[in-house]
Structure 1
Amino acid sequence: MQEPVFIALDFKDAQAAWQFLKLFPTDVRPAVKVGMELFYQAGPSLISDLKDAGFDVFLDLKLYDIPHTVEAAVRNLAQLQVDYLTVHAAGGRDMMMAAMAGAQAGAEKVKTSAPKVLAITQLTSFSETTMQATQLVRASMTESVVHLAHLAADSGLAGTISSAYESKVIHEAVGNRFLSITPGIRLAGDDQGDQARVVTPREAAVKGANGIVVGRSITQAKEPLLAYQQVVTEFKEGLTK
């Protein structure tokens, strides 16, 4: 089963997010991604309201701390009944295994399914040169991402967040059941912004992405509903290639 197209709700507050979501009819409930900016402003109540309104929620907080702290944080977040959440693979196997334990414990407490935990590999704002200079490594982008994907898979995570340029090698390294969810998506002709490794929805699917995260190409479009439908259509077309 392919994962959905996630709309990144990169808004300053809950009011702006709901104003945007009201542009979608009640029979269209796209999966949404809530990141640090919005969650830190609006808090857990926003997640509860989104779930009550029928939206699948991807909570993207990129957790990275000692295992005990991450386990406790994920246990709390899982009780919000989010569908997906993220941790940094660079936190290591022990931290990621702790995240999995927290996800299960939190879900059991509210009698729901545990969220799919996804590992951040390398940010799509990083070029290979920037990654090497920042992290003081000689590994190529591909080598680094595959190494981190292996750590995530060995820790029991559901998949990774990485550029679509790495989707194929991730699947070759750890199998096709391991999800590759990819940000850095733009419709053709849209501004690249602060992303360094950008592809279109169709290209992401052709390269092996199981799901995509799309922000500005939808949220800043003149007609967001039409833009969302275009993204979904292009992604599905790419899956058939």
Structure 2
Amino acid sequence: MERPLIIALDFKDHAEVDEFLNHFHDEKLFVKVGMELFYQEGPAIISHIKQRGHDIFLDLKLHDIPNTVKQAMRGLAKLDVDLVNVHAAGGKKMMEAAIEGLEAGTPAGKQRPACIAVTQLTSTSQAMVETELLINEKIDNVVLHYANMAKESGLDGVVCSTHEVVAINEKLSSSFMTVTPGIRMREDSADDQTRIATPDQARRLGSTAIVVGRSITKQQDPYKAYLKVKNSWEEIES
């Protein structure tokens, strides 16, 4: 996988997705379909976006007993998505089961979707880790531990904030994917995120991919906003 800019399609239905994608004409995108959209439209939205020629990160963050995750991944592998994820907090057996399900469900002759593990959400703060999750560790240590478990379980990478990328690359190698949400342009609001960064900061820190939502999707001219983010991510002078 190259170093993609992934656009979060946090829309309520098929019509809003098409209205947004129509801004991009023939440009091939890498988009993220999360729970909000998938639970409203189901697998049909995946087929529709694929027909339009785009790559898909199906962001459902599976977290259940190993067999349930295995069977769910077996089904998701048939949707022809490019990237899926689980919560690392589900443990090594669950993550191993996820890979087993993907391999079993991928049609013959095709490559299974890449699978990454969510370490800690970018909306999670150190205070939340300690007072709500009752984890008595620095969030950086928790993320690194979860990333190591994910690699040992055969996953392709993790979802983390940009703040943990350097440590993960040093400990687990830069070939282990670090997909980083919480990306904002300098002039944008942080909204509900706490561990954020700009696209150029993510690039310098070594992120494999960035996930960008409102900095593109909520702008008056989404295509212009996309190019601005893309240029910053790819270090292209505008």
TM-score normalised according to structure 2 size: 0.97
Aligned to 2:42: 43
Aligned to 1:192: 190
Q: Name the Cα RMSD after superposition.
A: 1.1
Aligned equivalents of 2:12 and 2:119: distance in 1? 26
The alignment partner of 2:235 has SS state of helix
What 5-or-longer segments of structure 1 have no aligned partner?
none
Aligned equivalents of 2:60 and 2:213: distance in 1? 16
**Bigger Cα displacement from structure 2, 229-238 vs 130-139:** 229-238
Aligned to 1:19: 19
Aligned residues: 236
Residue 49 (structure 1) shift: 1.1
Residue 3 (structure 1) shift: 2.4
Q: Within 5 A, what are the aligned runs for 1:149-164? A: 149-164=147-162
The alignment partner of 1:118 has SS state of strand
Q: Within 5 A, what are the aligned runs for 1:62-211? A: 62-108=61-107, 111-211=109-209
Aligned equivalents of 2:2 and 2:137: distance in 1? 31
Q: Contact 1:81/1:112 (CA < 8 Å) preserved in 2?
A: no
The alignment partner of 2:61 has SS state of strand
What 5-or-longer segments of structure 2 have no aligned partner?
none
The alignment partner of 2:10 has SS state of coil
Q: Deviations over 1:17-74 (max 9, x none)?
A: 1110011111x01100000000000100110111121100000000000000000001
1:236 to 211, 234, 237: 234
Q: Contact 1:77/1:106 (CA < 8 Å) preserved in 2?
A: yes
Residue 2 (structure 1) shift: 3.2
Q: Contact 2:125/2:195 (CA < 8 Å) preserved in 1?
A: yes
Aligned to 2:30: 31
Q: Contact 2:11/2:17 (CA < 8 Å) preserved in 1?
A: yes
Aligned equivalents of 1:175 and 1:133: distance in 2? 32
The alignment partner of 1:113 has SS state of coil
The alignment partner of 2:24 has SS state of coil
Q: Contact 1:12/1:38 (CA < 8 Å) preserved in 2?
A: yes
Aligned to 2:2: 2
Q: Contact 2:63/2:86 (CA < 8 Å) preserved in 1?
A: yes
TM-score normalised according to structure 1 size: 0.95
The alignment partner of 1:23 has SS state of helix
Percent of aligned pairs with the same amino acid: 46
